[in-house]
Amino acid sequence: MIVYHYARIDRWTDKSPFTHLMPMSSLDGILFDGTMGRKAIFALPEPTPRSWTDNRDFSSHAWDDLKKYMGKMLVEIALDPSDSVMVLDQAHTYKLYADGDESIPPPASEEWTRFQAEVYAGEERYWNSRVPFEQYLADPSRFSLPEIIILNPIPRERTRISNQQPLIEEVIREAAESGNIHTSRKLLHQLKSGIPELRPWLVPCEDVVRQGRLLREQQSSHREAF
């Protein structure tokens, strides 16, 4: 079974070789099995799961917020029966922050005390929502915002840089369309020089940057004409 993890690009270059993908992200809050601050690898059931991109409760905001905490490069992980994997429903904690900073009351207020109690209860519901990965697959509809966590290191040979790279494409496209050609070209150079597996995939991205540069030059010429 394959799951999908968005890794930081700088952790996957030739200059930073590694043998295992390590659990490096902290689980939110207190784990209610008596542990605290345990590390995990966070993953998703699909590259861009509709449960996150078009959620029935939170629209697209959940995906936009999740992207702030993920890397940009999509990596496929082949799970093994020996892996410690579970699925939790992030909706239990996300709904507390769905309105951004506006949903967080000022500290030392009566509302803050009440909010803290709600956060603690939400984190407990989040942790209690955990099920083994196989049980999640039997009925995914039970989860609003499914989040896969892997608690053990994954050997590098069980990982593969995906042929799909939606977040990198998004960054390059937005930079090129906004006229920020320097940013998109810098990212392309970083990927080509540091991650050889991505070089064939980068060809169409270079076309996007080239088109963006041409569009910018045309717009500049048009302004000069007036």
* Distance of alpha carbon 159 from the chain centroid: 16
Tell me: the pLDDT tens digits for 211-224? 555 445 444 543 44
- How confident is residue 60, by pLDDT bands cut at 50, 70 and 90? low
The whole-number pLDDT of residue 222 equals 39
Assess whether 11 and 65 both reside in one domain: yes
Assess whether 180 and 109 both reside in one domain: no
Torsion angle of alpha carbons 42, 45, 50, 52, nearest 10°? -20
Q: What percent of the chain has pLDDT over 70?
A: 76
- How confident is residue 102, by pLDDT bands cut at 50, 70 and 90? low
Q: What is the domain count for the chain?
A: 2
47, 43, 223: which is closest to 151 by C-alpha? 43
Tell me: the pLDDT tens digits for 152-163? 999 999 999 998
Domain, as residue range, for 22 = 2-159
The pTM score is 0.81
Assess whether 146 and 74 both reside in one domain: yes
Assess whether 191 and 124 both reside in one domain: no
Assess whether 192 and 143 both reside in one domain: no
The stretch 43-53 carries a mean pLDDT of: 94
Question: Could you give the CA distance from residue 195 to residue 168 in angstroms, rounded to a whole number?
Answer: 13
The stretch 122-142 carries a mean pLDDT of: 91
Assess whether 129 and 179 both reside in one domain: no
The whole-number pLDDT of residue 115 equals 81
Per the prediction, the chain carries an average pLDDT of 80
Question: Could you give the CA distance from residue 112 to residue 123 in angstroms, rounded to a whole number?
Answer: 16
Assess whether 135 and 206 both reside in one domain: no
- How confident is residue 226, by pLDDT bands cut at 50, 70 and 90? very low
Domain C-terminal end among 144, 159, 174 = 159
Assess whether 90 and 134 both reside in one domain: yes
